[in-house]
């Protein structure tokens, strides 16, 4: 029989017994496992009787191993009998070991009592930017730039926005300094990549010309020995290149899309930009509704629930890093963080995730939402495809009940969303964009 004692909010103590026969059997198994390592005077190694070992080392010599073997299954049975949902590892206290068996006390944090004050009729107001011609034209310019070709220019001097190839050697007071020399360096004029004034002095020069560029390093320059000093760069202009954008016409539309005309392509770009903005607004509305749910949640959350969620987030982050060819140790090396600081960083978001989940689980319970067998099978199929693993293997790794719980939570949020009052407010273009839009129509 299992006794349940509430010792504090969301924490219980289970008292249960492991019968003497099972305990003795486990002690004998521990003896057989360890006897080969034990040397007792008068006996060959591995041949000492159990009673002799207990006499020399104490009657409890095999207790720890025996309990390690018995406790997981016994604890699981006790939790099931007590009908509680635990959210932490047990803290064990062995109360007694005698002729009646072993009395165990195990402390757990359990799922909290949850109330959600309101979840129907929640309000969310979001802004949706109205797509105008200027937005479409900006997107077309980005596509133009992605499809631009680079051509060499030989019949004129360099000008802003050209990409020039130069050799240079920098010196201060006639002495060449480290890092100030390069051969065949490409530089886009007007990019601001070099010291202020450097790029401007290349403008107007022609291919093959050699000239000096005179500049003064900024006072806050990263190299202290150069900060604030005047420098001369002996420079040679090797070549000039320019980006040539494709013309915005029907041929361009055919090259970059499945459409035959620029007008059709523009219409599609506008539709996709509108769809993207609508999805962003939907995501914002979802977050606002979840914030409202969290605000309406009444419960005391056990710390282990948040800690476990933060740990899951750390594991997910490690997985994403590994997909990029990195790992946590490399990340820590370059960021100065450690495992504990990363967990701490994730704690606020972990708490939000736990609160949202608790609220939605309670709603699913109140609304008697269930997952059908068909829905569970569909979810397993999705997981199988997402991870490239056979469905049977996924079912071995993930319990049906866990999948069903996720489905019910998703249904709960769909209900909240369907019952919510969401206002999508169209936002007009700024005055500058509106003026640009008028010009470009």
Name the segment(s) of the chain with CATH classification 3.10.50.40.
Answer: 149-244
- Under DSSP, the state recorded for 200 is G
Name residue 295's beta-bridge partners.
none
Please report the pLDDT score of residue 387 as a whole number.
Answer: 84
Name the segment(s) of the chain with CATH classification 1.10.3120.
Answer: 254-427
How far apart are the C-alpha atoms of 30 and 52, rounded to whole Å? 15
Three-state SS for 41? coil
Answer yes or no: are the C-beta atoms of 296 and 118 closer than 8 Å.
yes
Please report the pLDDT score of residue 433 as a whole number.
Answer: 53
How far apart are the C-alpha atoms of 225 and 240, rounded to whole Å? 33
| Cα Rg, the chain, nearest whole Å | 36
CATH fold for domain 254-427: Trigger factor, domain 2 (1.10.3120)
Sort 423 into a burial class: Cβ within 10 Å, 0-12 / 13-18 / 19+: exposed
Kindly state the tokens that stand for 75: 């604890």
pTM for the full predicted model:
0.73
Please report the pLDDT score of residue 441 as a whole number.
Answer: 47
What is the per-residue pLDDT across 79-119, written as a single tens digit (0 to 9) for each? 999 999 999 999 999 999 999 999 999 999 999 999 999 99
Please report the pLDDT score of residue 168 as a whole number.
Answer: 97
Name the segment(s) of the chain with CATH classification 3.30.70.1050.
Answer: 3-110
**Residues whose CB falls within 8 Å of the CB of residue 125, separated by 6 or more in sequence, listed in order:** 288, 422, 423, 425
Q: Which of 306, 305, 268 is nearest to 136 (CA)?
A: 268
Q: What is the CATH number of domain 3-110?
A: 3.30.70.1050
Neighbours of 24 (CB within 10 A): 12
- Under DSSP, the state recorded for 427 is E
Which residues in the chain land under pLDDT 50?
A: 439-441
Indicate the class that CATH gives domain 149-244. Answer: alpha beta
């Amino acid at each position: 029989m299992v006794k349940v004692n509430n010792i504090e909010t969301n924490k219980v103590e289970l008292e249960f017994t492991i019968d003497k026969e099972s305990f003795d059997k486990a002690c004998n198994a521990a003896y057989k496992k360890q006897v080969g390592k034990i040397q007792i005077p008068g006996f060959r190694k591995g041949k000492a009787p159990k009673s002799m070992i207990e006499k020399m080392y104490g009657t409890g010599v095999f207790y720890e191993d025996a309990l390690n073997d018995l406790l997981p299954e016994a604890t699981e049975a006790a939790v099931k009998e007590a009908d509680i949902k635990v959210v932490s590892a047990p803290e064990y206290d062995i109360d007694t070991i005698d002729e009646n068996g072993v009395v165990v006390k195990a402390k757990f944090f359990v799922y909290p009592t949850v109330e959600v004050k309101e979840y129907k009729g929640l309000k969310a107001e979001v802004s949706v930017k109205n797509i105008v011609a200027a937005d479409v034209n900006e997107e077309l310019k980005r596509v133009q730039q992605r499809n631009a070709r680079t051509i060499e220019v030989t019949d004129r001097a360099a000008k802003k926005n050209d990409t020039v190839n130069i050799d240079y050697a920098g010196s201060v007071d006639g002495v060449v300094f480290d890092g100030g020399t390069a051969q065949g360096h490409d530089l886009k004029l007007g990019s601001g990549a070099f010291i202020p004034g450097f790029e401007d002095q290349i403008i107007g020069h022609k291919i093959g010309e050699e000239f000096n560029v005179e500049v003064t390093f900024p006072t806050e320059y990263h190299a202290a020995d150069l900060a604030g000093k005047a420098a001369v760069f002996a420079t040679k202009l090797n070549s000039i290149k320019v980006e040539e954008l494709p013309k915005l016409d029907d041929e361009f539309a055919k090259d970059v899309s499945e459409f035959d005309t620029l007008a059709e392509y523009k219409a599609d770009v506008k539709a996709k930009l509108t769809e993207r903005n609508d999805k962003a607004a939907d995501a914002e509305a979802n977050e606002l509704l979840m914030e409202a749910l969290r605000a309406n949640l009444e419960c005391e959350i056990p710390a282990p629930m948040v800690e476990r969620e933060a740990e899951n987030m750390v594991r997910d982050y490690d997985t994403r890093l590994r997909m990029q060819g990195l790992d946590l140790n490399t990340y820590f090396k370059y960021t100065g963080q450690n495992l504990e600081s990363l967990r701490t960083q994730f704690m606020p978001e972990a708490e939000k995730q736990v609160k949202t989940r608790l609220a939605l689980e309670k709603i699913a319970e109140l609304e008697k939402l269930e997952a059908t067998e068909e829905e569970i099978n569909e979810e397993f199929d999705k997981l199988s495809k997402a991870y490239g693993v056979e469905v049977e293997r996924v079912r071995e790794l993930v319990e049906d009940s866990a999948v069903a719980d996720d489905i019910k939570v998703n249904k709960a949020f769909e209900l909240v969303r369907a019952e919510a009052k969401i206002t999508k407010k169209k936002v007009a273009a700024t005055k500058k964009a509106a003026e640009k839009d008028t010009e470009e129509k």
